[in-house]
Copies of this chain bind each other. A is one copy, B any other.
Amino acid sequence: MRSKTSVRRRAAIVPFVVATLASAAIIATGGGCGESKRAEDSFLPSWQAGATRSAIEAFVARTTDPSSPDFVPERDRIAVFDNDGTLWAEQPNYVQLAFIVDRVRALEGAHPQWASTEPFASVLRGDMRAVAAQGEPGIAALVGATHGGMTSDEFRQTVRAWLATSRHPGTGRRYLDMAYRPMLEMLAYLRAHGYRTFVVSGGGVDFVRAFAEELYGIPGDQVIGSTARLRLEVRDGVPVVVKTGEIEFVDDGAGKPVSIESRIGARPRMAFGNSDGDFEMLAWTTAGDGPRMGVIIRHTDAEREWAYDRESSVGHLARALDEAPARGWVVVDMSRDWIQVWP
C-alpha cells in the first residue's frame, strides 16, 4: 500500500449498509427471482463488469430461478465467507492482533511481571517477529491474558470500544472503514436472493461478533470462528457464561469444514476465501453435488490496498491459487475487478 487515503468516519458506513439492505429487501420482496439487469446492477455497483462478476451473477441466477435445472431451494442457499482478507483488510497484520497488542499495553500496569515475561515482553517492545517465533503457545498465552476471565458480552463491549477509536497505522482509517465495499455489496446481493450469509473466520468468534452485525448485517449466530472454552459461573448471585481464555477450537484449514458442518449442519453452496487457510473450506464446498461455487479474493492492488500471495505469511495464498483453475474456482483480481475498494 503506497498512498494514504483520507480518513473516513465510521458513520459513513452504517447508512451505506442500511441503504443497501433496504434496496435489496425491496427488490427481493417485489421482484422475486426475475430481477431485471438494472436491479442486479444496483446490487454490485463496485464490481467491474466482466468475466468475474458475470460468473457470480450467472451462478446466483441459475440457483435462484425455479425453472433452472440448477435451482436450489431457499433453505439450502448457504454462503460462507472468510473474514480477514476476504471481508476486510488483514495487512500488515490481523486486526485482532492489533487489538491484543493494545490490550497488553492497556493491562500492563496491573501486570508488572509482563515486562520480563514472554510473550508479553516482546509485545511491549513491539517486536511482533519475536512473538511469532514463539508459535501457538505464545498466541495462546496472549489470548488467555487478554480474552479470558470475562463474559462474552463484556469482551465484545471491550472490542467495540477499541474499534470505535482505533485506526490502521498505514491508512489512518478506522478498521471498521476497511471492510471491502464490493464484499458488503456481495453480502447484501446474496441475502436479497435468499442466501443466508455466514462468516467463517480463523479469528475469535466473539471478536468477529463484536462488529459483524453492524458492519456486515450478520447476526452473532451466523458467525463461526475460533473459540475459547466457556464456563457457567454464578457472580453476585447471577449466572453468567465466562470465557476461560483456554483455546478450544482453531477455525482454520481443515477446521473450517468441521466447524461449518458442526454449526450449520450443511455443505454450503458458495464459499469465499483469500488464503490457503480457506483451501479446505472451498474444496469441501465445491465437491458437493449440484451447483457450487468457490471464490478467491486475490490481493493484486498495491495502489489501493496491498499486493500479496505466495510470499506473505498473513494471507498466504499458493495452493488454492494453483488449483483454482482445475477446480473451477473464480479468482477475483482486486485491481481489475473492483471499481472501489473501501466504502
Seen from chain A, the residues whose Cβ lies within 8 Å of a Cβ on chain B are 75, 152-153, 156, 196, 198, 205-206, 209, 213, 219-223, 227, 230-232, 238-241, 254, 257-258, 260-267, 280, 283-284, 287
Contacts and interface: CB of A to CB of B under 8 A. Distances in A.
Contacts of A206: 265
A284 to B, nearest CB: 4
A236 to B, nearest CB: 10
Contacts of A266: 220-221
A241 B223 CA distance: 20
Contacts of A232: 254, 257-258, 280, 284
A304 to B, nearest CB: 33
27 contacts: A75-B213, A153-B267, A156-B265, A196-B219, A196-B221, A206-B265, A220-B265, A220-B266, A221-B221, A221-B263, A221-B264, A221-B265, A221-B266, A223-B265, A230-B258, A230-B262, A232-B257, A232-B258, A232-B280, A232-B284, A239-B257, A239-B283, A239-B284, A241-B257, A241-B261, A241-B284, A263-B263
A240 B258 CA distance: 9
Contact of A265 (B198, B205, B258, B280): B205
A262 B227 contact: yes
A265 to B, nearest CB: 3
Nearest to A209: B265
Contacts of A265: 152, 156, 205-206, 209, 220-221, 223
A266 B209 CA distance: 10
A138 B287 CA distance: 36
Nearest to A74: B219
A247 to B, nearest CB: 13
Contact of A75 (B156, B219, B261): B219
Given A220-B266, A239-B280, A241-B284, 8 more contacts: A75-B213, A196-B219, A209-B265, A227-B262, A230-B258, A230-B262, A241-B260, A263-B263
Nearest to A265: B220
A27 to B, nearest CB: 16
The 9 closest A-B pairs by CB, nearest first: A220-B265, A241-B261, A221-B264, A232-B254, A239-B284, A209-B265, A230-B258, A238-B287, A232-B257
